[in-house]
Amino acid sequence: MTPVEAQRQRSFARRGLWVDGLEALVWLSAVTGIALMVASGGLAYVSSPADWFYALGRALGIVAAVLMMTQVLLASRAPWVERAIGHDRAIALHAKWGKIAVVLMLTHALLITSITASYDDRNAVSQFLAWSDYGWFMLAAQVALGAFVVVLLTSVALVRVRWPYERWHAVHMLVYVGVAFAVPHQFLEGSTFRTGGIAWWFWAVWWTVTLGSFVVFRLIRPLVLMRRHGLTVSSVVGHTDGSATVTMTGRNLERLKAQPGQFFLWRFLSPELRMQQHPYSLSAAPGESLRITVKNSGDGSGAVARLQPGTRVLMEGPLGVFTPATRSGSSLILIAAGIGVTPIRAMVEACAPGDDVTVVLRARSRAEAPLIEEVEALAAARGVHVHVVLGPRGSGWGSVDQPVSIARLVQDPSRADVYVCGPRPWALAVEADALASGVPQAGIHREEFGW
């Protein structure tokens, strides 16, 4: 193993420890919350099955609250989260834990309402509607519950595939309304918090960190970046394959510390796009300008080609760990399908002369392959091997006429890093082939399309 590989392995190990630590912190916080409930006398009153179910409802509410806070933190764009696990994984965990949190929240509400109704000798519906007996914060909690249910239902795959991204994203923002409305009842009604002490401070610090991160990095930082860098569209160039390249210029862009392979969340302040935000990868190595290339695949992406020079840009980022900085092996394989070439093209541009790099571009035809000439020119200048795979898809991830395998692309797959960007089913096929060829799981880096 060369010194460079050894350094890459150490960096990878440190990132792994940080990722594991973040996930362990979530479950440790849930356990701590339940322990504080017990320590405050949460089980002292238990003397019947109904009491046990009431205590269970409280415990589930605590776990749901921790997962809700985690969900907000994962979507906050906080740098310590983004650098540790990457945006894709953060959002995947955000979606996974968010669904679990909503189910637990619903179970919590059902148990607490039903058992309290039995204590008060009335039915559950009457109990649920008797928020005036407790205060405004219980009405706020019911509004939060309704918002969570709407988000859960619209996150079902059957709904998502039928809705445009812009509509789904607007509805999905209700989760933050729900979180904001749920917080007061935890502190004002939850018996664990009424007496103050360590439990109160535990939750106060957790909520401050999570909500504070959201406000700072989702709301304030984009405005700061817009003022600091003054990013505007300088040119828009259409391509014969239907894509369009947008180049943006501004002040002191090196302060962003963007890397090839990363992406930003862009909001173009034009009449068509000012209410929309979309993730697009950099299609060139960042420098005095930032460049993206967008394929027309919907209303938002189609409007990008109609942007006018001078349009102001609001951005969040840079985001993602799909960069050569996360590699751990000696050789590098960059594989792209369609418009997935954008981060790959930027990474090729940043390759050092003499580095062992192989690029595979997958498309139905050469005329439909975005940026293919640019990639080939950059590869020729840097001694990078390029394989262009054209035609309808075959039994693997190559084409009918050009089957391809990772094992044939590199001499020692066990020391290779494979970066894949393209549609999810195709990218999963590439990953399966890489694993079968001997590429370690840690050496596979996948960035997908879709939402």
For residue range 297-356, list pLDDT tens digits in order. 765 677 898 999 999 999 998 998 888 888 877 889 999 998 999 999 999 998 887 788
Question: How far apart are alpha carbons 429 and 409 in whole angstroms?
Answer: 16
The one-digit pLDDT tens for each residue of the chain (451 residues) are 666 566 666 666 666 677 777 788 888 999 998 888 888 776 777 788 888 888 898 899 889 889 988 888 988 888 888 877 778 788 888 888 888 888 898 898 888 888 888 877 777 777 676 666 666 777 777 788 888 888 777 776 656 666 666 677 677 777 777 787 877 777 666 655 555 678 888 888 888 999 899 999 999 999 999 999 999 999 999 998 889 999 999 999 999 999 999 999 999 999 989 888 888 999 999 999 999 999 877 656 778 989 999 999 999 989 988 888 888 778 899 999 989 999 999 999 988 877 889 999 999 999 999 999 999 999 998 889 999 999 988 788 988 888 889 988 888 888 889 999 998 889 999 999 999 999 988 889 987 655 4
CATH 1.20.120 fits 3-221, yes or no: yes
Question: CATH 1.20.120 spans which residues of the chain?
Answer: 3-221
C-beta contacts of 181-187 below 8 A and 24+ residues apart: 181/140, 181/141, 181/143, 181/144, 181/147, 182/65, 182/68, 182/105, 182/140, 182/141, 182/144, 182/145, 183/207, 183/211, 184/137, 184/140, 184/141, 185/137, 185/138, 185/140, 185/141, 186/61, 186/65
Question: How far apart are alpha carbons 300 and 274 in whole angstroms?
Answer: 10
SS3 content of the chain, % helix, strand, coil (to 5): 55, 15, 25
Query: Token digits for 159?
Result: 């709904």
User: Taking Cα atoms as reference points, which of 97, 129, 124 lies closest to residue 111?
Assistant: 124
Question: How far apart are alpha carbons 339 and 295 in whole angstroms?
Answer: 6
Amino acid residing at 148:
F
Q: Do 226 and 312 contact (CB within 8 A), yes or no?
A: yes
CA–chain centroid gap for 127, Å, is 39
| Class of the CATH-defined domain 230-319 | mainly beta
Query: Token digits for 398?
Result: 């190559």
Question: How far apart are alpha carbons 370 and 239 in whole angstroms?
Answer: 8
Q: Do 384 and 378 contact (CB within 8 A), yes or no?
A: yes
Question: How far apart are alpha carbons 228 and 226 in whole angstroms?
Answer: 6
Question: 308: burial class by Cβ within 10 Å (0-12, 13-18, 19+)?
Answer: exposed
Helices (H), 120-135: 124-129
SS3 (DSSP) at 122: coil
Question: CATH 2.40.30.10 spans which residues of the chain?
Answer: 230-319
Query: Token digits for 165?
Result: 């991204």
Query: Token digits for 431?
Result: 């990953």
In sequence order, what are the residues at sequence separation of 6 or more whose Cβ sits closer than 8 angstroms to the Cβ of residue 357?
331, 332, 333, 334, 348, 351, 382, 384, 385
Question: CATH 3.40.50.80 spans which residues of the chain?
Answer: 324-448
Query: Token digits for 219?
Result: 């709301």
DSSP state of 117: H
Domain boundaries 324-448, corresponding CATH code: 3.40.50.80
pLDDT per position as a tens digit, 103-133: 898 898 888 888 888 877 777 777 676 666 6
**358 strand-pairing partners:** 333, 385
